[in-house]
Amino acid sequence: MPQCNALKNHLCISVDGNFLPCCRYSKHDQKFHVNDYTFDQYRNTNFYKSIISNMEDGWDEGCLKCKKEEDMDNKSSMRQRLNKDFSGSNIEFIEISISNKCNITCRMCGPKFSSKWAEIDNVEVEKQNYSTLLDSIDFSTVKRIKYLGGEPFITPEFKELIDRVTNKENVDLQVNTNATFFPSKYISELAKFKSMNVALSIDGIGKVDEYIRQGTDWNKKLSVIKQWLDTDFTLYIHTVVQAYNIHDMKNIKAFADKNNLYWSPAIIAWPQEFQLHALDKDYVDQIKDNDNAVFLNTISSYNKDLNKKFKSTTERLDKLFGTKWEDIVK
């Protein structure tokens, strides 16, 4: 049976403060907020227990992303990887988004993940009581922490989290950053971890990255990346593959190769109008090359309604930011 160790030793909390079975779980009809539940209380809910039971007898409905991967040839799922890395019943892997505080405004983002967007949309995002949650965690059994944002290096909660990890030499730390500045004050502390893995978010080269990730200065970003390259940390490039940058895959790959960095591209899941099948087929035919074909070949059909929404959203965002999509595409 497809038992998943993540259900037993994985603490996953979304940026809006809800416990999740894991970051990939897709059935969100019930909410368990950190302000209302401790982690132990959450794991005693019928919701959580039913997932355990379903995975013992077959597959839970919210876990089918892993099943789909395992049904594909030569594809390992997150379930298989976590089962290999973790085996205990205590918390060994923490995946947490503590704050939406961010200094840029990415086109595909929103108030939930960016305080900049919250300001623009005049949305108030509820603050979470993470100190109480962190008080309840026995960090002595933790082997890996994945910290997401917002932008982690500008959130005071990030320092609170790493200060609580007293056995850093036994813990792998992974952080995603927009690489708009270099967090000098953290470097000596980060070096104490067993391993430090930094995902540098790059969604294009030059003006393409600046267009998608509003508030980014590419030349400054290059200098920040150089500072990261001068550390002994493990670095890789993370790219959200989407309608705005699919034409630039060749340049991103070349940048990664030039700097000897692993490239981790992932096709966008949301917003839908930025997905690849929202593009015009004629445009796709024009830009298709050896480097983006692997992504474009996932398009089974083109959606005209999404294409209209993509164009109207692009027009709205270009007006908001004073930009033009035509300036960054072929």
- Return per-residue pLDDT of the chain as tens, 330 residues: 568 888 888 899 887 788 988 888 888 788 898 888 888 899 899 999 999 899 988 899 998 888 887 887 656 788 888 888 888 778 899 998 878 899 999 999 999 889 999 999 998 877 777 787 788 788 999 999 999 878 999 988 888 899 999 999 999 999 999 999 999 999 999 999 999 999 999 999 999 999 999 999 999 999 999 999 999 999 999 999 999 999 999 999 999 999 999 999 999 988 999 999 999 999 999 999 999 999 999 999 999 999 999 999 999 999 999 999 999 886
Contact 3, 52 (CB under 8 A): no
For 118, residues 6+ apart whose C-beta sits below 8 A from its C-beta are: 100, 111, 124, 125
Query: Could you tell me the residue ranges of all domains in the chain?
Result: 1-89
DSSP type of residue 124: P
For 44, residues 6+ apart whose C-beta sits below 8 A from its C-beta are: none
Helix (H) or strand (E) holding 310: helix 304-321
Contact 240, 280 (CB under 8 A): no
Q: Identify which of 223, 146, 212 has the alpha carbon closest to the alpha carbon of residue 180.
A: 223
Tally of CA atoms within 13 A in the half-sphere of 315 that contains its CB: 6
Please tell me whether residue 47 adopts helix, strand or coil conformation: helix
**What is the token pair recorded at 96?**
């947490």
Please tell me whether residue 303 adopts helix, strand or coil conformation: coil
pTM recorded for the entire structure: 0.90
Measured distance CA(238)–CA(203) in Å, rounded:
8
